[in-house]
Structure 1
Amino acid sequence: MTFPQIDPVAFSIGPLSVHWYGLTYLLGFTGAWLLGSWRAGKPGSPFTREQVGDLIFYGAVGVIIGGRLGYGLFYGLDQWLSDPLWIVKLQQGGMSFHGGMLGVLTAFWYFKRKTGKSYFTVADFIVPMVPVGLATGRIGNFINGELWGRPTDVSWGMVFPGDPLQLVRHPSQLYQFAFEGVALFALLWIYSRKPRPAAAVTGLFGIGYGCARIGAEFFREPDAHIGYLVGNWLTMGMLLSVPMIFVGAGLMVWGYRKQGANP
């Protein structure tokens, strides 16, 4: 299958170039804001539409700062140590989901202090919208022709223009779009439509994302400068996702036990 050649620059205004990748981030934040605002208008919502807008803004800041710092820590520590200013050179690319997640969790803590809500009131409300951003981000990766998959002989395999070996590979960005984005969104949205114990929705996100990411890593080519951590299968993405499953399961168990003890 031929990779659809798409100019990574969506449009230019004078010397300013707007990239599709940046637009996919903007689309993800906008989608999360629209869905959150819709839920905020429902009876019994713990937040107003204005508060949702503030929360999405803080979350966006957390994604960008945490994502970049996480990439430097997990995937580019040698480069960061050799060039400390590299971490602020966003135009060179490099974002980590797990770092972005830590940034968002920090944003939840700040918003919780600002509004007086409990931490999981904030987290459980917003995490069903997170897969929207994950989905649009993976589309951005696909348009850029980056983070491609492992070599394959399946009929839908593609040759990515940036691949020096020019091998037919899994379009793993689209797999992640489908499972980390669409499927995880449907799971969390349906589950969170009814009242759930505190931390249960957040816990389900951890389990769902961790499983989806680990599954995708079996098809995704590991970062060239890191490679496999063990044998020919364990990647950094897997290693960082395993704790999410255990923490997520622990949160769900804690939430349901607490609800049972205080019906």
Structure 2
Amino acid sequence: MLTYPDIDPVAFNLGPLKVHWYGLMYLVGFASGWWLGRWRAQRPGAVMTPAQVDDLVFYVALGVVLGGRIGYVLFYNFSAFLAEPLLLFKVWQGGMSFHGGLLGVLVALGLFARKLGLHYFAVVDFIAPLVPIGLGAGRIGNFINGELWGKVSDVPWATVFPGAGPLPRHPNQLYEFLLEGVLLFAILWLYSSRPRPVMAVSGLFAICYATFRFLVEFVREPDAHLGYLAFGWLTMGQVLSLPLLLAGIVLMVLALKRGRA
């Protein structure tokens, strides 16, 4: 059994302001994505310039924060939102959704592409390999917070999380860090290192993320206020991942057809 490090969620204080590790993980994700994006923009054939990448990060940040919060409230806490609409603005209470954040980013990228007159999926393909960095950093933040833990388990690396009872559980956050962060980044970075048909990188991202998330949900404790939605195992995360998987397959098929045309 692994010993939970019990790291203080507050990294440091700036007077009355508490800076949390979770917030710093968002900063790590955005900063790393910005740096790698500028590096990619300097390569031959890049769809945008380093200066445009600077603007792109601003659009992405808005999409992540607004979409992630709205998605969490609508997908995971809708009944509470109906009872208290102001819950949408109470970000200090926590709650962000990847699927909502993804939708927010896709809308933001649409606005960005339209502003610059770029092909929408060329922009999405450009940024897709950078996203796993933020996903992985976010999961480390979840682990530090001791939230979104896994099911009770007797695997040698099971962990007892504060607030989750005395029984050891799957360190689900670390699984997602490795799959959605490290592995997904490696797959997309290597795949996009060579010219690919438009939509192919976006499709591969959607397929891989949806598959990884669907599988990890089997060892992740479902949200207490939702529980399982059907069959004694289906979670909201899996339900939201299915249309993403389907969209990824469609994008990949279209991209491959275009590549052979």
**Separation in 1 of the partners of 2:58 and 2:103?**
15
**Separation in 2 of the partners of 1:205 and 1:197?**
14
Q: 1:139: Cα distance to partner?
A: 0.2
Match of 1:213 in 2: 213
Secondary structure in 2 matching 1:73? helix
Q: Does 1:29 align with 2:30?
A: yes
Match of 2:243 in 1: 243
**Separation in 2 of the partners of 1:162 and 1:60?**
31
**Separation in 1 of the partners of 2:82 and 2:244?**
28
Amino acid at match of 2:158: G
**Structure 1 stretches (4+) deviating beyond 6 angstroms?**
none
**Separation in 2 of the partners of 1:57 and 1:27?**
14
Amino acid at match of 1:74: F
Match of 2:68 in 1: 67
Match of 2:93 in 1: 92
- Aligned residue pairs total 260
Q: 1:244: Cα distance to partner?
A: 1.1
**Residue ranges of structure 2 left out of the alignment (5+ in a row):** none
Matches within 5 A, 1:6-85: 6-85=7-86
The RMSD of aligned alpha carbons is 0.7
Q: 1:232: Cα distance to partner?
A: 2.2
Match of 1:167 in 2: 167
Amino acid at match of 1:130: V
Match of 1:153 in 2: 154
Q: Does 1:114 align with 2:103?
A: no
**Separation in 1 of the partners of 2:209 and 2:48?**
25
Q: Does 1:224 align with 2:224?
A: yes
C-alpha distance after superposition, 1:150-205 (max 9, x if no partner): 00001110111021x32210000000000011000000000001111110000000
Secondary structure in 2 matching 1:168? coil
**Residue ranges of structure 1 left out of the alignment (5+ in a row):** none
- Identity, in percent, stands at 59
**Separation in 2 of the partners of 1:4 and 1:260?**
52
Amino acid at match of 1:203: G
**Separation in 2 of the partners of 1:195 and 1:225?**
45
**Separation in 2 of the partners of 1:74 and 1:234?**
15
Amino acid at match of 1:220: R
Match of 1:176 in 2: 176
**Separation in 2 of the partners of 1:220 and 1:248?**
23
Secondary structure in 2 matching 1:218? helix
C-alpha distance after superposition, 1:67-90 (max 9, x if no partner): 000001100001111111111110
